[in-house]
Chains A and B, each alone.
Chain A
């Protein structure tokens, strides 16, 4: 692509250099420790409390640092990097406002179990607690949204803390870990010795399941007449897509993948029934409601999937496989709980199962539903339909791109109409539903996967929450294709106001938004607009042929709704199917 993208691995020689015991500052300890953890790219924004750290980075090129234009951009980029690569995303910000600007991004990562190490500066230890300039209790503020956090008061602790943080972030149920480093600690000197062992008494995630439970699952599968798989983000985070494929195809059990599980199973396969839940397929929701065995593999029974809990999967024996014991029984009681790493569990179950012959009628029923009730919309020739735009993106890229999204209608259409075939190709804020996520996460994903095409799909609302990061695309020539599904309105809110609040459209009109093409051009990014299918095809073709970043403003129908839809308080088989 271009020379800005960092080299993938560090040489043994460099490693030797970094590991050499030397008296160095806390800031240098940080950089060396990051390198030893395999970091090749960090996202950050400097400020007073991290001046020593940034000073140590002066002229330093053993890893790449990407200067974003807002700390929120940095943390979402680190998140996108982590989701696209499976490695730990790293982000650096200063104390006070720098740190608090990360909060949304930390919560986003926490909700979706994304491994991240977040480094913040803080005021000097002598000033902590005095309401000093740019002081904020960031470890306190982020306690509910981090897997763990550290306030490092002694430079001696720094190598151990960093090593622990990376280990905790990327094992068990993954998540963000915050390291708060006061300014004097980043300046203090210490004899650096790399830490390689990990010894945290209170942290022992269980990866190997109880064999008896796995046997029970095998037994249940052999007895089931209407078995069904609900696979979630855990499949992707555990790297278990191949094992899942073997499990589903060996048993012939139909499968749905949740929003975060998209790409965990090839969408072209006949056993796959699409996404479940609020905007899921008719087939998936009805299959959940009618199955007699529901095998949840690494999903957390989120309310957007279950709908009304009392009445969810009423005929099913529930199997719940999760690395986090606290998820089991939290929302839906499990008949066969299995605590363990999804990949390990599937490796154990696969040799024990065979084709479910009793389920032939069930498979036939599911195929009938699939044929009868696909996602559908009424296309038009005079206006551009958002669903058509996503279908065009899908067809021209054959489902091979990495797609990141913002949050709202475009996100659901992208989930419905882009057909994923590979894990780590779909990057979206599912749990927190964070607007502003689409563009910066695409930057991170592109840094992680420089060879792949990255498409960032946004609404005209969300893009304005982090549009400043267009600068990063331009200056680093990061070739993301930034799609705006522009309906001039906060579409998902408008949809709810139409359907549930009796057309009382309250504060959803985005009139006054900038000309997005000119906005892109102001940053030095190519901008293209399309209002018809013909223009859309041409613009997209031009974007694909352009080596650098491109912003595409697809002006679409304002009044389109996302269907099917399960309204809150309904069971998931009570679906509004749309206006046909």
Chain B
């Protein structure tokens, strides 16, 4: 029995209406987990790239790849986990903040190389970019001040080096 692990899969798809539904529907009906899904234009006109983070054992991952390839609108499926890669996520975090608390929060923000992108009378909005663990850590540190809202993009990723697969 192989263990359940987190996998990051990059999927090159035709930029067609309904393609997100085809991919997410496939995950849903076959009982594959989606931890996050992002989609946007790719380097080629007419193609989009989706990045899905999923949890499963090796057998599940193999089925996911094979089932994805059966979709006519799927051009290429790459399991990024098997290669050195960069994975990044962006989060906007609105934190309760009275004027006297701001310097302390700013200290955390600087340490994480995050930035403050908006300041309200009783709150500030922090933007942080990084891998999922970094964002989780940042959220933990901001919790004591009172988090009012979080919005995360989900992970996008690509392989390192000259490889363009």
User: Which residues, 15 to 69 on B, are CB-close (under 8 Å) to A?
Assistant: 17-18, 21-22, 25, 29, 59, 62-63, 66-67, 69
Docked-complex contact B66 and A325, CB < 8 angstroms? yes
A330 within 8 A of B: yes
Least Cβ–Cβ distance between A565 and chain B, in angstroms: 29
Least Cβ–Cβ distance between B81 and chain A, in angstroms: 19
Q: Per a CB cutoff under 8 Å, which of B21, B66, B72 touches A202?
A: B72
Docked-complex contact B18 and A203, CB < 8 angstroms? no
Residue ranges of B at the interface with A (Cβ–Cβ < 8 Å):
13-14, 17-18, 21-22, 25, 29, 59, 62-63, 66-67, 69-75
In the assembled complex, 8 residue pairs joining A and B whose CB atoms fall closer than 8 Å, in A order, are A144-B29, A147-B72, A201-B14, A201-B75, A202-B14, A202-B75, A324-B70, A325-B66
CA distance A255 to B18 in the complex (A): 44
Least Cβ–Cβ distance between B134 and chain A, in angstroms: 35
Q: Which residues of A contact B13 (CB under 8 A)?
A: 202
Q: A324-B70, A326-B66 are in contact. Are A140 and B21 (CB under 8 A)?
A: yes
Docked-complex contact A202 and B67, CB < 8 angstroms? no
1/0 per residue, CB under 8 A from B, across A114-140: the answer is: 000000000000000000000000011
CA distance A191 to B20 in the complex (A): 32
Docked-complex contact B59 and A202, CB < 8 angstroms? no
Docked-complex contact A168 and B72, CB < 8 angstroms? yes
Which single residue of chain A is at the shortest CB-CB distance from B76?
A202
CA distance A316 to B134 in the complex (A): 49
Extra inter-chain contacts (12) besides given A140-B18, A324-B70, CB under 8 Å: A139-B18, A143-B18, A151-B17, A151-B18, A168-B72, A200-B72, A202-B13, A202-B74, A202-B75, A203-B72, A326-B70, A329-B59
Which single residue of chain A is at the shortest CB-CB distance from B62?
A329
Least Cβ–Cβ distance between B140 and chain A, in angstroms: 39
Docked-complex contact B72 and A148, CB < 8 angstroms? yes
Q: Which residues of B contact A326 (CB under 8 A)?
A: 63, 66-67, 69-70
Q: Which residues of B contact A148 (CB under 8 A)?
A: 72
Least Cβ–Cβ distance between B27 and chain A, in angstroms: 11
Which single residue of chain A is at the shortest CB-CB distance from B18?
A139
User: Which residues, 402 to 427 on A, are CB-close (under 8 Å) to B?
Assistant: none
Least Cβ–Cβ distance between B138 and chain A, in angstroms: 38
Least Cβ–Cβ distance between B146 and chain A, in angstroms: 41
Docked-complex contact B72 and A143, CB < 8 angstroms? no
Docked-complex contact B71 and A202, CB < 8 angstroms? yes
CA distance A422 to B14 in the complex (A): 42
User: Which residues, 191 to 245 on A, are CB-close (under 8 Å) to B?
Assistant: 200-203
Q: Which residues of A contact B63 (CB under 8 A)?
A: 326, 329-330
- The list of the 3 closest CB pairs from A to B, nearest first, reads A326-B66, A148-B72, A202-B75
Which single residue of chain A is at the shortest CB-CB distance from B29?
A144
User: Which residues, 170 to 195 on A, are CB-close (under 8 Å) to B?
Assistant: 173
Q: Which residues of B contact A330 (CB under 8 A)?
A: 63
CA distance A348 to B14 in the complex (A): 35
Q: Which residues of B contact A139 (CB under 8 A)?
A: 18
CA distance A151 to B16 in the complex (A): 10
Which applies to chain B's interface (DSSP): helix, strand, loop or mixed?
A: helix
Which single residue of chain B is at the shortest CB-CB distance from A143?
B25
Least Cβ–Cβ distance between B14 and chain A, in angstroms: 7
CA distance A326 to B74 in the complex (A): 15
Docked-complex contact A143 and B73, CB < 8 angstroms? no
Q: Which residues of B contact A151 (CB under 8 A)?
A: 17-18
1/0 per residue, CB under 8 A from B, across A7-42: the answer is: 000000000000000000000000000000000000
Least Cβ–Cβ distance between B34 and chain A, in angstroms: 16
Q: Per a CB cutoff under 8 Å, which of B29, B69, B74 touches A325?
A: B69
1/0 per residue, CB under 8 A from B, across A315-356: the answer is: 000000000111001100000000000000000000000000
Which single residue of chain B is at the shortest CB-CB distance from A175?
B70
A interface bracket (residues with beta carbon within 8 Å of B): 10 to 19
Least Cβ–Cβ distance between B79 and chain A, in angstroms: 15
Which single residue of chain B is at the shortest CB-CB distance from A172?
B70
CA distance A326 to B70 in the complex (A): 8
CA distance A173 to B69 in the complex (A): 13
Which single residue of chain B is at the shortest CB-CB distance from A140?
B21
Docked-complex contact A143 and B21, CB < 8 angstroms? yes
Q: Which residues of A contact B74 (CB under 8 A)?
A: 202
CA distance A330 to B13 in the complex (A): 24
CA distance A324 to B75 in the complex (A): 16
CA distance A173 to B72 in the complex (A): 12
Least Cβ–Cβ distance between A446 and chain B, in angstroms: 33
Docked-complex contact B22 and A202, CB < 8 angstroms? no
1/0 per residue, CB under 8 A from B, across A134-171: the answer is: 00000110011001100100000000000000001000
Least Cβ–Cβ distance between A254 and chain B, in angstroms: 31
Which single residue of chain B is at the shortest CB-CB distance from A324?
B70
Least Cβ–Cβ distance between B33 and chain A, in angstroms: 18
Least Cβ–Cβ distance between B75 and chain A, in angstroms: 5
CA distance A151 to B22 in the complex (A): 14
Which single residue of chain B is at the shortest CB-CB distance from A333?
B59
Q: Which residues of A contact B14 (CB under 8 A)?
A: 201-202
CA distance A122 to B71 in the complex (A): 23
Q: Per a CB cutoff under 8 Å, which of A144, A201, A203, A329 touches B25?
A: A144
Q: Which residues of B contact A168 (CB under 8 A)?
A: 72
Docked-complex contact B22 and A143, CB < 8 angstroms? yes
Least Cβ–Cβ distance between B2 and chain A, in angstroms: 12
Least Cβ–Cβ distance between A43 and chain B, in angstroms: 25
Least Cβ–Cβ distance between A322 and chain B, in angstroms: 11
CA distance A203 to B75 in the complex (A): 8
CA distance A144 to B67 in the complex (A): 12
Which single residue of chain A is at the shortest CB-CB distance from B17?
A151
Which single residue of chain A is at the shortest CB-CB distance from B22?
A143
Least Cβ–Cβ distance between B9 and chain A, in angstroms: 15
Q: Which of A144, A147, A173 gathers the greatest number of chain B CB atoms within 10 Å?
A: A144
Least Cβ–Cβ distance between A90 and chain B, in angstroms: 19
Which single residue of chain A is at the shortest CB-CB distance from B59?
A329
Which single residue of chain A is at the shortest CB-CB distance from B74?
A202
Least Cβ–Cβ distance between A339 and chain B, in angstroms: 10
Least Cβ–Cβ distance between B16 and chain A, in angstroms: 9
Q: Which residues of A contact B18 (CB under 8 A)?
A: 139-140, 143, 151
